[in-house]
Amino acid sequence: MKIVMLGAPGAGKGTQAKMIADKYSIPHISTGDIFRANIKEGTELGLEAKSYMDQGKLVPDELTVKILLDRVAKDDCANGYVLDGFPRTIPQAKVLKDALEKQGDKIDFAIDVDVPDENIVKRMSGRRACVTCGATYHIEHVPPKKEGICDKCGSELILRDDDKPETVLNRLKVYHEQTQPLIEFYTNEGILKEVDGTIDVKDVFASITSILG
């Protein structure tokens, strides 16, 4: 069972990807994680990726897919995997599709966790992070016991720049321009499944498991 997770930043696709991985005993693969692992291990692919990153350039799609294919060839991916954060663009999706086809393989499901922009802005601008220990809260859903203070270490809680409404809106703009077209791409492939991401996390997961079986 090979799954691609889609959804805007803050839609909760990462949380769902982890839950899917746990339930079906398949790896949750984030491109960021595999880049870091290859760089840390000093692999040839990792060093090649690092040379781009050190120059502040994006890692080319072909190299990203090579690193990804290297990861999914490992034994723990024998029963499938969940891709989180890749592909982000149509060219990446095409490179991935072609590379998998050469191996007689394919993606089985593309799951879109659908959340309207206004919900995402509200959701993310309600997040608070501890400046000391990094614990995270939400002023509505997971509030600290004392407003503005971390339960764990007593330090100040802040709204991170990443979660400020103007930053979130900018990230959503990029998402709509670059990543949302993947919904049409995977619809045409006949594997797109959409779930309502505005409901409770457990209910979103129940919707996904009813699709995956």
- pTM of the prediction? 0.85
pLDDT score of 141: 87
Active site residue 97: no
Catalytic, 128? Answer no
Confidence of residue 53 (pLDDT cuts 50, 70, 90): confident
Indicate whether 49 belongs to any domain.
yes
And the tokens for 86? 């890749």
By three-state DSSP, how is residue 160 classified?
coil
pLDDT at 190: 97
Q: Is the pLDDT of residue 8 over 90?
A: yes
Mean pLDDT, to the nearest integer, of 62-85? 93
In a domain, 203, yes or no: yes
- To the query of whether residue 36 is one of the catalytic residues in this protein, the response is no
* 18, 50, 88, 164: the active-site residue: 88
Give the tokens for residue 81: 């995997």
What is the share, in percent, of the chain residues with pLDDT greater than 70?
100
Question: What average pLDDT score do residues 128-151 get?
Answer: 94
User: What pLDDT was estimated at residue 57?
Assistant: 85
Number of structural domains in the chain: 1
- Please give the residue range of the domain that contains residue 64: 2-115+174-212
In a domain, 122, yes or no: no
For residue 75, pLDDT beyond 90: yes
CA distances from 23 to 9, 16, 127, 182 (A): 23, 10, 27, 26
Catalytic position from the list 50, 94, 164, 171: 171
Candidates 2, 13, 71, 123; catalytic one = 13
pLDDT average, residue stretch 89-108: 94
pLDDT (tens digit per residue) in 175-192? 999 899 999 999 999 999
Q: Which of 2, 66, 123, 127 is catalytic?
A: 127
- Please indicate, yes or no, if residue 167 is contained in any of the structural domains: no
Q: Of 23, 36, 106, 160, which is the active-site residue?
A: 160
**Residue 59 falls within a domain, yes or no?**
yes
Instruction: Give the H/E segment covering residue 16.
Output: helix 13-24
- Residue 135 in any domain: the answer is no
Q: Is residue 182 part of a domain?
A: yes
For residue 127, indicate whether it is catalytic: yes
CA–chain centroid gap for 52, Å, is 22
Collapse the DSSP code of 49 into the 3-class scheme (helix H, G, I; strand E, B; otherwise coil) and give the result.
helix
Residue 56 banded pLDDT, cuts 50, 70, 90: confident
CATH number at residue 30: 3.40.50.300
Average pLDDT over residues 90-107: 94
Concerning whether 171 is annotated as a catalytic residue, the answer is yes
DSSP secondary structure string for all residues of 120-175: HHHHHHTEEEETTT--EEETTTB--SBTTB-TTT-PBEE--GGGSHHHHHHHHHHI
Q: Is residue 187 part of a domain?
A: yes
